[in-house]
Structure 1
């Protein structure tokens, strides 16, 4: 059993250094009727989300470069917790994250719809 939340009230995380990208994803999610959306633009501030004393997110959109060790470590820790993660950094050959759903830039509503359907949300 993973630690993913069963409640629709759990937060959705948008983790990207690109503010416009965060706004686009946020707008898309709100149009789908989803709220409780939290965005962060600095990987250094994302460790608080991994704290076991905070509720796990419903979903994570992760767009930091996996070439940055702190970002790669974060996404691997979240994956190990069983969190649902959508990578927003295009294609990757990293075997540790290759199985995660991916959203390739540039993306449109149809691409977001497809990845949301892929994860079953």
Structure 2
């Protein structure tokens, strides 16, 4: 066996050996609670001093105040009649479409140019 074959086999053995050593389960430590080992500390609320209640007498209603009467049609919020829409990602699509058209056109022009030179 030549030195070249021996080096190829050695390189393949080195490349394949750590593949099984580094393999782990898909979800070994993925969903562990980082605060799961700590004891739960319940905060005991300190009783606050009760605030003195303010005694206020309500003002008597006067007959001159206007009251709302439910008589006319009321405006209600109606949901849009359109179907579901895609979320706005914050990028305008026109520059991307123009760039794609430019790349497609330049590829077609290059192909046509190379076809003519044959």
| Structure index of larger Rg | 2
TM-score bracket, normalised by the shorter chain, equals: under 0.3
Larger RCO (CA within 8 A; separation ≥ 6): 1
Per the normalisation by structure 1, the TM-score is 0.11
